[in-house]
Structures are given as structure tokens and as C-alpha cells.
Homo-oligomer: A and B are copies of this chain.
Amino acid sequence: MNITTTKPFPVFVVLYNTVSEPFFNKVTILGVGLIGASCALALKSRGLCKTILGFGRKETNLIQAKEQGIIDEYSLEAADSCKNADLVILSAPAGSFKKLLYSVRDALKKNSLVTDVGSVKGPLVPALEAMMPEGVHYIGSHPIAGSDSSGIANASADLFYGTRCLVTPTSRSDEKAIRKIISLWESFGSNVEIMDPMMHDEIYAAASHLPHLLAYALVNTVADTNAAYLQYAGSGFKDTTRIALSSPELWRDIVLLNRENLVALIESLECNLEMVASLIKNADAEGLEREFSKAQLFRSTIK
């Protein structure tokens, strides 16, 4: 068997020539969780901004973030927090982006930049882009960092170092703004790739969203069978379901925003499981070994 791409793969992976390191006077982080706080720490540690203001729903979290030097100030009022910001980073759960942006758009400064760190891009990017006031530029980002851990306790200035970051401009995007956002992530140590927002969602439905759904489904299936069996889980079960520890709120939003790709993939997976079940019922040893060998080979190609 050759490992080949069975469908044309239209993603274009181009690294733009980036400008020199970006410098921002004021940065506002809308949502100070693992990713938002890590952005703040990465900006500060690299001297890329003067002040960072955090906005969030929980004041205790914001107080902690300020005490730990992650942010300089905080506000419980989103629009207020964005005043005079040169860069606004949307790092709340993706389902809140539209409402959040709607509430702050009138406060956005001319020539400022807005980006987000959401795991879904397809329907969101054009929607957010369309909401921008004249002269304010939105460019979508998706840093492939973070894990099942969450919150500022796990934040780090080097969370993005050596990881992939997708930047998803559209045909309407301002080129200077694209360059600045690429430069920002490269300053954090990310390997930036440019990707079409719709293609992004198709790829990440398979590479990330489906595995999350499956980890949740596997835990619930075993728990519904007999919760006591979970105590016999070895390293295989633990690895396979580690991402079931991820934030339910975050993943609820991601799943709903990437609904069509995911429903199609769940159907494909069910077809595959049906086929495997029928191989098992027919005691088709050769067929099973062929399926498992195929998966082993493909899995071994992942670096």
C-alpha cells in the first residue's frame, strides 16, 4: 500500500515575507484563560507591548492574572477594555466571538488590529470580518497549542514556541495586517501557515474535532456500561481519552461551529465501525489484520 493523498489537496501553504517584530502600545485580551494569558505572557516576555488589559467574566480570575503580572489592568466591561487598544485578541470560547465583537466594535480604534485564537474559522472569519468598523482590520488565527489543561495556572510565555499556527486571511484582508499578525505569531516562536478558512475547518474537523468527540463518546460508553470498569483503564485507554478532560464549554462551541464537517465525519466513522463489526462477526481474521495494518502504517507517518 502506498500512502497517497486520495483527493486533491488544495491548501496553499505560503509563508508571506513578514515585517519586523510588531510593537503595540496597548493590547486587550478578551478572555484571560490558558491561551489569552499565554499570549499576554508571550507579548510581555518579548517586549512587544507597553500595557496589557484583560477583560473577562470572572473578576477573581482577572485579579489573579493581574497579581501574577500576566495583565497590567483589567475591566469587566468589554467595550471599555478595548478603548485605545492597538491589538485586540479574542480568546474567549469561540461561540461568544460574534456577540463579544458586536459589543466592542464601536470602541475599536482606527488602524487597530483584531485577531482571534478560535479553533473554528469557516463561518466565523467572514462574519467577524464583516463586523469590523472602517479602518479596523481583522485577521483570524488558530494557534495549535494548549491541551486538556486550561486556565491561567497553566499559561506560559512559551506555549506557542515550536507549534503550528494557522493564519486565515480572506481576499478582503489588508496585506499589512496579514503581515503584522504573521509576525506576531512568529515572534512567539510559532510556525505560521496561511490557510483558507473553510479548508481549515475541514482539516481540523478530522485532525482535532472528531478525536475530541470520540474521546468524550468512549468515556461515556464505558461509563454507561459499568462505571467501575473505568478503574481498569490502562495507559491505552488513558491516552485515548486524555482529551475528554478538555473544557466542555469550549468544545460545545467548536462542535456547533463546525457542525456540517463533523456530522459527515461521524457518519464516515460509523461506516468504518460497522465494517469492522461485520469483519468481527464473520471472524474475518485477514480482513481485520488488513484494517489494523493500514491504520498502523498511516499512524506511523504522523511526526
- In the complex, the answer to whether A226 meets B5 with C-beta atoms within 8 Å is yes
Residues of B within 8 A of A225 (CB): 206, 265, 268
- In the complex, the answer to whether A265 meets B220 with C-beta atoms within 8 Å is no
A142–B221 Cα gap in the complex (Å)? 24
Interface presence of A210 (CB below 8 A): yes
Which residue of B is nearest A281, CB measured?
A: B263
Interface presence of A249 (CB below 8 A): yes
Q: Which of B3, B147, B246 contacts A296 (CB 8 A)?
A: B246
Binary B-proximity of A216-256 (CB < 8 A = 1, otherwise 0): 11111111111111111111111111111111110111011
Binary B-proximity of A256-299 (CB < 8 A = 1, otherwise 0): 10010011011111101110110011010100110111111011
Interface presence of A121 (CB below 8 A): no
Q: How many residues of A contact B (CB 8 A)?
A: 94
A298–B281 Cα gap in the complex (Å)? 30
Residues of B within 8 A of A211 (CB): 218, 236-237, 240-241
- Give the distance to chain B from A162, nearest Cβ to Cβ, in Å: 12
Interface presence of A212 (CB below 8 A): yes
Residues of B within 8 A of A299 (CB): 215, 219, 241-242, 244-245
A238–B211 Cα gap in the complex (Å)? 9
Among A218, A245, A293, find the residue whose CB has the most chain B CB atoms closer than 10 A: A218
Residues of B within 8 A of A202 (CB): 229
- In the complex, the answer to whether B218 meets A234 with C-beta atoms within 8 Å is no
Given the known interface contacts A204-B232, A294-B220, the answer about A285 and B95 at a Cβ–Cβ threshold of 8 Å is yes
- In the complex, the answer to whether A227 meets B295 with C-beta atoms within 8 Å is no
Interface presence of A14 (CB below 8 A): no
Which residue of B is nearest A193, CB measured?
A: B232
Binary B-proximity of A58-78 (CB < 8 A = 1, otherwise 0): 000000000000000000000
Binary B-proximity of A143-161 (CB < 8 A = 1, otherwise 0): 0100100000000000000
Given the known interface contacts A210-B222, A211-B237, A301-B230, the answer about A273 and B283 at a Cβ–Cβ threshold of 8 Å is no
Interface presence of A7 (CB below 8 A): yes
**A210-B218, A259-B281 known, 8 other contacts, Cβ within 8 Å:** A206-B221, A213-B276, A217-B273, A219-B298, A244-B292, A246-B292, A255-B280, A259-B283
9 A-B pairs with CB atoms under 8 Å apart are: A216-B291, A216-B296, A219-B298, A220-B298, A223-B294, A233-B302, A240-B243, A256-B285, A266-B273
